[in-house]
Each structure stands twice: as structure tokens, then as C-alpha cells.
A and B are shown apart, each in its own frame.
Chain A
Amino acid sequence: MTEDLALKYSAVILVTFIGILAIGMMLVANFLLAPKKKTLEKALPFECGIPASPFSWSQIHMRYYIFAILFLIFDVEAVFLLPWILVFMEPITMSPWVFYEMVFFIAILLFGIVYSWKKGMLKWK
């Protein structure tokens, strides 16, 4: 491993440890400071004010799954944007077409959004 990269990622490692430490301290402080008296209301799972649903694992509607798939596909697209940005900023070494290459890539995926829009999948009915 090069020294440069180790230095760069030592920040990531530091943030990871601080994050673990912060959560651990919150749990310990909660354990030490919180009153231990139990009531029935406190035992309920907090569900933003509305009465809790009978099962923690209720069956969800199919349309959530379509949105998850849409998210997955545009996540893949977003990952490809990153190496594109790095070379897009170098117009000398790259051909000027590199911009339109990505536009074409997004245009194909845009057809998918138009298709799902036309099929009414984006409507929350």
C-alpha cells in the first residue's frame, strides 16, 4: 500500500472508530441515566404517534418493491457517473464526445422512467 493512500484512508478508519465510540457512549449513558421504572406504555414500540401495528413484520404492498428496483437501477447509474466526472474534467486527453457518451447512457435509462410513468407505476394510488 502506498503511503499516500494509507494517509487518505486513515481518516476513514478514524471516523469509523469515533462513530462506534459515540454510539457506545450513548448506550452507556442511556443505561446509567435513564429511570428504570417500567410501564405498559413504555414497552410499546414508538411508531411516530400512531397506534402500533399488530405485527412488526407486516406484509407491504408490491408497489414499494417497484420503487426499490427503480432506486437500484439509478444507483448503478450514479456509480458510473463518478469515473465519468474524473475524466470529463480533462478535455485535453479525452475526446469531446465523452460528454455525449454519458448523455446517451442516461437517455437510455430515461426511457425506463418514461415507460414506468406511462404505465402509471409512479402514481401512488
Chain B
Amino acid sequence: MSGEVIVFTIISAMVLFGALGVVSTKNVGHATLYLLITLGSVAGIFILLLAEFLALVQILIYGGAITIVLLFALMLTRVDEFSSIKDAVQRPVAIVVSVLLLGVIITPFLQETLGGQSLTESNLRTLGHELFTKWLIPFEVASLVLLVALIGAIVVGRDD
């Protein structure tokens, strides 16, 4: 067994541990912290796939910012209303949706043509080249999208 397989097994176990924790715990605060384990471990999988930029995004944005915003959103709710997760009504729908999603994920693995080119080295510099020449307009549009999100949050969250 090569080192890559060992590392992948450990990281996958951590991803699954966090994901199972999210859906099994009754406390929504704990569920968010379990989600942090999963998001951080997925960054490890991205590094194994030589996608360093995605790993960076995963840790900085998902692990850092999204989890914080989730916790803040939880603390905005009133504790007596949402002290534990009450989702018994949604359970049948959730089962159907998750089985469908599992089918979508498994289908590509059953098809033989999983082609695509595999990377041999990390490509952060290449990504920078492409981003600031070929994909410049989408990059600048991304800042507009962020601006819209910012102004939207301010309009929604104002006191008056």
C-alpha cells in the first residue's frame, strides 16, 4: 500500500466521521463543528488531487468564513425555538433526495469513460496565468457578484 493510499484512507475516514456527526447530532452548534472537520478534511483530498488552490479556498473560505457565518446565523436564532433539530416531518423527503443524489454520484464511476487528463504537478502558477489573461472578465464579474452580496446583506440587515 503506497503512502498516497494511506493518507487518502485517513482523510476519507475523517470526512465521513465529520459528515456522519453532522447528521447524527441533535445539537445544531455541534453539527456546525462537525461540518468544520469535514470541510477541513476535504481540503486534504484536494491536495492529494494536486488542486492546491481549491484546498486553499476550502480552508480559508469554507473552514474559516462559512463556518463562522453559520455559527453567527445560529446565534441569531432564539434558543428556546431551535434548541434541538426537529426534522421528523422532512425525513421521508430527505431519504428520497439522498438516494437520488447517491445515484448521481455513483453513475460516473459505473461508466468506464472516466478520462480527462491527470495532473503531474501543482498548478497554482498556471491558474494565475489563466485567471488574469483568459478568464479576466469572469474574474472581474466575480467581484461584482461579491458586491451585490455585500449590499444585499446590508439592506436586509439594517435596523430601520
- Chain B associates with chain A: yes
Binding site for A on B (CB under 8 A): 3-4, 7, 29, 47-48, 50, 53, 56-57, 60-61, 64-66, 68-69, 72-73, 75-79, 120-122, 124-125, 127-129, 131-133, 136, 139-140, 142-144, 146-147, 149-151, 153-154, 157-159
Secondary structure class of chain B's binding surface, majority of residues:
helix
When distances are taken between beta carbons in the complex, the residues of chain B under 8 Å from A86 are 124-125, 128
Say yes or no: A83-B75 contact (C-beta < 8 A), given A72-B69, A108-B140, A111-B147.
Answer: no
**Residue contact B50 to A1, C-beta cutoff 8 Å:** yes
Within the complex, which residue of A57, A64, A66, A101 is in contact with B153, where a contact is CB–CB below 8 Å? A66
Q: How far is the CA of A63 from the CA of B131 in the complex (A)?
A: 35
Q: Does A87 contact B (CB under 8 A)?
A: yes
Interface 1/0s, chain A 37-66, versus B by CB < 8 A? 000000000000000000101111011111
Docked CA distance A108–B142 (Å): 10
Chain B nearest CB from A36 CB (Å) reads 27
Q: Across the interface, do B48 and A1 meet the contact criterion of CB distance under 8 Å?
A: yes
Residues of B within 8 A of A60 (CB): 72, 75-76
A84 contacts B128, CB within 8 Å? yes
A104 within 8 A of B: yes
Question: Count the A-B residue pairs with Cβ separation under 8 angstroms: how many?
Answer: 144
Separation of A123 and B139 alpha carbons in the complex (Å): 31
Main DSSP-derived SS at the A contact region: helix
A72 x B48 contact (CB < 8 A): no
Of A58, A59, A62, which is within 8 A of B159 by CB? A62
A84 partner residues in chain B, CB cutoff 8 A: 128, 131-132
Chain A residues whose C-beta falls within 8 Å of the C-beta of B154 in the assembled complex: 66, 115-116, 119, 121
Highest count of chain B CB atoms <10 Å: which of A6, A57, A62, A70: A57
Q: Are A55 and B153 in contact (CB under 8 A)?
A: no
Measured CA separation A62–B150 after assembly (Å) = 15
A71-B68, A73-B150, A79-B57 are known contacts. Are A65 and B125 too (CB-CB below 8 A)? Answer: no
Q: List 22 A-B contacts (CB under 8 A).
A: A1-B3, A2-B50, A4-B121, A55-B79, A59-B78, A60-B72, A60-B76, A65-B76, A68-B69, A69-B153, A73-B146, A75-B61, A76-B61, A77-B143, A83-B53, A101-B139, A108-B147, A109-B147, A111-B147, A112-B147, A112-B150, A115-B151
Contact of A59 among B3, B48, B79, B147 (CB under 8 A): B79
